[in-house]
Amino acid sequence: NKTCAISCTGHGEPFIRAVTAYDVSCLMEYKGLSLQEAMGMVVYEKLPKIEGEGGMIGVDALGNAAMVFNSEGMYRGVRNEEKMETAIYK
């Protein structure tokens, strides 16, 4: 609740081994990164080192959403009072 809520998708084993959601939360809490920055660091830098492919969608404690993936595409969507966004590819 202090940092974020995250849902991961892709090949599960690398996401579990890399404790990806936990890492994002720690990067936010201890390094002061935004949700987007922390998710980008984990998905683009950490996961590829262990052949992890997929993505994350998350919401931070202020209600800001982020969607990051390193695969060809990821079905994703978010809606708030200001906008509705859905996509598959980059």
- pLDDT in tens for each of the 90 residues of the chain? 799 999 999 988 999 999 999 999 999 999 999 999 999 999 999 999 999 999 999 999 999 999 999 999 999 999 988 889 999 998
Q: How many domains does the chain have?
A: 1
Helix and strand numbers (H, E) in the chain are: 3, 5
**68/2 Cα distance (integer angstroms):** 21
CATH number of the CATH domain containing 71: 3.60.20.30
The single-letter DSSP state of residue 64 is: -
Range of the domain at 39: 4-89
Rg (CA), the chain: 12
C-beta of residue 37 within 8 angstroms of C-beta of residue 4: no
At residue 20, the pLDDT reads 96
pTM for this model (two decimals): 0.90
